[in-house]
């Protein structure tokens, strides 16, 4: 594992006594590195400041190892939750004073009890979960071949990737890559499930480009950066066969337009 990305969205860390909402923070941690979180104080510095009064000055710590990350709960009273947003309700509890609880999720949301209406939350992304090459069987670990791009085909980001690639897989030509609103519409969830928002789709595209496929868009202008990023993602995924025709079955079926049913043979 090359490391993790810790992201505290704006307001996700609660508000201080003056009702000022926490600022957005993004941290990148490599193997062996750690980040402490909590309310903090001059004598207790933290890398991730959570302003809610119910959060301890030093609430906990994230530590990155070679193949996973660990969560330590410094609270003497509060249990923390680590949720898998893509695991259909899957979560684990980290009880008070628990040291180094291993977290296996690629995406994780850490949830702390709070005094406000909403809990305090931040996200941890572990983009380099390593998968063996399907042909690598047996032999010592050091001699095995790992995949260059570790993609989880059950994750939402992979569904977004398939939707990006769908027009070119079906048309086999240089058709335009779908826009974010088009992907939102294409992945519209069935009744009873939360829809995928435009912001979520954009976040998945950024995650694919920056963490999973390691695309460098620094040579692009500001206006072309978003379109250029999608083009590069699709180009790389199709060139290396990361998305293939069989993956189209993962997408929701497209309903037939009204009036296009075939007439029965009489």
Distance between CA atoms of 26 and 226, rounded to whole angstroms? 20
Task: Answer yes or no: are the C-beta atoms of 165 and 234 closer than 8 Å.
Answer: yes
99 shares its domain with 208 = no
110 and 196 co-located in one domain = no
Q: Cα 12–130–215 angle (5° rounding)? A: 70
134 within some domain = no
Closest listed residue to residue 93, CA positions, set 224, 84, 170, 248 = 84
Report the percentage of the chain scoring pLDDT > 70: 76
Residue 151 included in any domain: no
User: Do 66 and 169 sit in the same domain of this protein?
Assistant: no
For residue 231, what are the domain limits?
A: 156-250
Same domain? For 81 and 184 the reply is: no
d(CA 141, CA 128): 17
Q: Is residue 266 in some structural domain?
A: no
In a domain, 175, yes or no: yes
- In terms of pLDDT, which residue wins out, 68 or 22? 68
Residue 98 shares a structural domain with residue 176: no
Residues 56/74, Cβ–Cβ less than 8 Å: yes
Same domain, 176 and 93: no
| pLDDT tens for each residue of 248-261 | 999 988 765 555 55
Non-local CB neighbours of 43 within 8 Å, separated by 6+ positions = none
pLDDT in tens, 112-165: 999 877 889 999 998 766 666 555 555 554 555 556 788 888 889 999 999 999
Mean pLDDT of the chain: 82
Q: Is residue 257 part of a domain?
A: no
Residues 110 and 187 in one domain: no
Q: Is residue 130 part of a domain?
A: no
Same domain? For 90 and 184 the reply is no
Asked if residue 95 and residue 50 are part of one domain, the reply reads: yes
How many structural domains are present in the chain?
A: 2
Q: Which residues contact 125 (CB under 8 A, 6 or more apart)?
A: 4, 5, 6, 7, 106, 107, 108, 207, 211
- DSSP β-bridge partners for residue 70: 63, 102
Look at residue 259 and tell me if it is in a domain. no
pLDDT, tens digit, 9 for 90 and up, residues 81-94: 999 988 768 899 99
Q: What is the CATH number of the domain that holds 16?
A: 2.60.200.20
Phi, psi of 147 (to 5 degrees): -70, 145
- Its pTM stands at 0.70
- Report yes or no on 117 lying in a domain: yes
Residues 104 and 188 in one domain: no
Same domain, 81 and 174: no
Regarding whether 168 and 79 lie in a shared domain, the answer is: no
């Amino acid at each position: 594992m090359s490391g993790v990305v810790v992201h505290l969205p704006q307001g996700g860390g609660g508000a201080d006594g003056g009702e000022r909402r926490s600022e957005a923070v993004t941290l990148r941690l490599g193997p062996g590195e750690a980040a402490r979180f909590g309310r903090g104080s001059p004598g207790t510095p933290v890398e991730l400041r959570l302003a809610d009064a119910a959060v301890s000055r030093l609430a906990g710590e994230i530590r990155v190892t070679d193949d996973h990350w660990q969560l330590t709960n410094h609270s003497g009273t509060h249990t923390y939750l680590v949720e898998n947003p893509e695991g259909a309700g899957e979560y684990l509890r980290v009880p008070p004073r628990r040291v180094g609880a291993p977290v296996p999720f690629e995406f994780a949301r850490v949830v702390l009890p709070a005094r406000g209406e909403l809990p305090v939350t931040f996200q941890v992304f572990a983009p380099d979960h390593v998968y063996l090459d399907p042909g690598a069987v047996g032999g010592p670990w050091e001699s095995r071949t790992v995949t260059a791009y570790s993609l989880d085909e059950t994750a939402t980001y992979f569904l977004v990737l398939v939707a990006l690639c769908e027009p070119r897989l079906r048309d086999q030509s240089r058709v335009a890559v779908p826009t974010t609103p088009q992907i939102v519409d294409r992945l519209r969830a069935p009744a009873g499930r939360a829809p995928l928002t435009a912001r979520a789709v954009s976040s998945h595209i950024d995650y694919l480009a920056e963490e999973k496929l390691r695309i460098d868009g620094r040579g692009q202008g500001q206006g072309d950066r978003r379109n250029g990023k999608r083009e590069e993602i699709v180009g790389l995924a199709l060139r290396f066969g990361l998305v293939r025709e069989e993956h189209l079955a993962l997408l929701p079926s497209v309903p037939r337009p009204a009036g296009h049913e075939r007439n029965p043979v009489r």
